Amino acid sequence: MKPPRFLARAFALALLLGVAAAAQDAPTLRTVTRPVLNMYSSASVDADVVSQAIYATNVTIVDQRDGWARIRTPDDYTGWVETSGLIARTGDPYPSRTSAVQVRSLFAHIYREDSVTKHAPLLTVPFETRLEIDPAGVATERWAPVLLPDGRRAMIQKGDVMPAGGILNIDDAIALAKRFVGLPYTWGGTSSYGYDCSGFTQMLMRQRGYLMPRDASVQARWTGLVPVERNELKPGDLLYFGPTAERITHTGMYIGDGLFINATTHDTPMVRIDNVNDPYWNPLLVAARRIRP
């Protein structure tokens, strides 16, 4: 028996919070402390980047060696990172309290106090970063107190955040996607510092409440999606491109009227809106998918 759809969504969001990571042995739990932490195919900065983990993400350690750790992210992806970008935590995963916010701006500065002029920001975090509200802090009309993963107390402007856990409908997801137009394409990218094609699509689906696999070819085979004929496309459907259906190399989200939004290196390396009937894209479109009813 398949679980009700709302339970599937709840489970996906629980994974996003790192609950799955918390189920592992406590010593293996770590939290990312860099705005964006590159994940490499091997324990070297000279290796290729396979993905990224953003600030405050809870991960589990799979292996360790000489200042490097092979981690598993909440979407079940693995890669090697520098251990200096991680912090060990005891007890509950971050954020450990029920009151948390999520960055809704493309980027957000975190400050040491409720002022943008007294000191430089402590750090700048990307869209989707989840932060724990500091119960000992004092909120104002403009500022929210946050407790960072390393224990520091800080402040963030309320205009940069929203309550964590919201789920977007298709129209709102499309509107969100358009906010990223012009951001740079980054191979392995999973943040507003730069997405690759599948990282961008995965983020949009995550905002709709679905934790989808990381890579385009795996996404196209994911059981949470069903095939769609090209002449039946609807906004929110996912498009997959490649030389053949067995060799998918690119993805984007259909937004209607023959248009789709994607992070691409074609022509201009950025998040952009393209037409499926364009001579470049038309022969490469080999599959379309929709969320399983």
Locate the DSSP E strands across 73-206: 78-82, 86-88, 100-103, 107-110, 123-126, 130-133, 143-147, 153-157, 161-163, 190-191, 194-195
Q: Are strands 86-88 and 190-191 parallel, antiparallel or unpaired?
A: unpaired
**CATH number of 170-291, picked from 3.50.50.60, 2.40.30.10, 3.90.1720.10, 3.40.50.150:** 3.90.1720.10
The CA-atom distances, in angstroms, between 111 and each of 114, 147, 156 are 7, 11, 6
Structure tokens at 128: 């989707």
* H-assigned helices in the chain: 5-16, 19-22, 170-179, 197-207, 216-221
> Is residue 86 scored above 80 in pLDDT?
yes
C-alpha span between 200 and 255 (Å, rounded) = 14
Asked if 132 contacts 94 with a C-beta cutoff of 8 angstroms, the reply is yes
Q: How many residues does the chain have?
A: 293
Per CATH, the number for 102-163 is 2.30.30.40
User: What average pLDDT does the segment 225-248 reach?
Assistant: 97
Whether the ω angle into residue 95 lies within 30 degrees of 0, i.e. cis, is: yes
Residue identified by tokens 């952009």 is 272
Could you read off the pLDDT of 144-179 as tens digits, one per residue?
Answer: 999 999 999 999 999 999 998 889 999 999 999 999
| Stretch 124-134: mean pLDDT | 97
- Please name the fold of domain 5-88: SH3 type barrels. (2.30.30)
> Cβ(197)–Cβ(252) under 8 Å?
yes
DSSP 3-state of 200:
helix
- pLDDT of the residue at 27: 56
Instruction: Quote the pLDDT of residue 160.
Output: 98
Other C-beta atoms lying within 10 Å of the C-beta of residue 263? 27
Tell me the per-residue pLDDT of 104-114, one tens digit each, with 9 for 90 and over: 999 999 999 99
The mean-pLDDT minimum among 7-21, 44-58, 101-115, 200-214 falls in 7-21
pTM over 0.85: yes
Q: Is the dihedral of CA 277, 278, 283, 284 positive or negative?
A: negative
Extents of the domains making up the chain:
5-88, 102-163, 170-291
CATH topology identical between 102-163 and 170-291: no
- Predicted local confidence at residue 90, as pLDDT: 74
In 3D space, the residue among 21, 36, 31, 16 whose CA is nearest the CA of residue 203 turns out to be 16
Mean pLDDT for 191-200 is: 98
What pLDDT is attached to residue 24?
41
As given in the structure block, the two tokens for residue 271 are 């998040």
Among 10-14, 78-82, 186-190, 267-271, the minimum mean pLDDT is found in 10-14
* pLDDT of the residue at 16: 47
Task: Judge whether residue 242 has pLDDT over 60.
Answer: yes
Residue range 253-280: average pLDDT? 98
Average pLDDT over residues 120-143: 97
- Residues 272-289 have a mean pLDDT of 98
Quick check: helix, strand or coil at residue 48? Answer: coil
Residue type, 265: T
Q: Which two tokens stand for residue 183?
A: 């951001």
Per-residue pLDDT at 38: 98
Question: What pLDDT score was predicted for residue 8?
Answer: 43
Mean pLDDT of the chain: 91
Pick the residue with more confidence: 19 or 78? 78
Tell how strand 259-264 and strand 194-195 pair up. unpaired
Look at 5-14, 26-35, 282-291 and tell me which has the smallest mean pLDDT. 5-14
Q: Per residue in 37-69, pLDDT tens? A: 999 999 999 999 999 999 999 999 999 999 999
What is the per-residue pLDDT for 165? 85
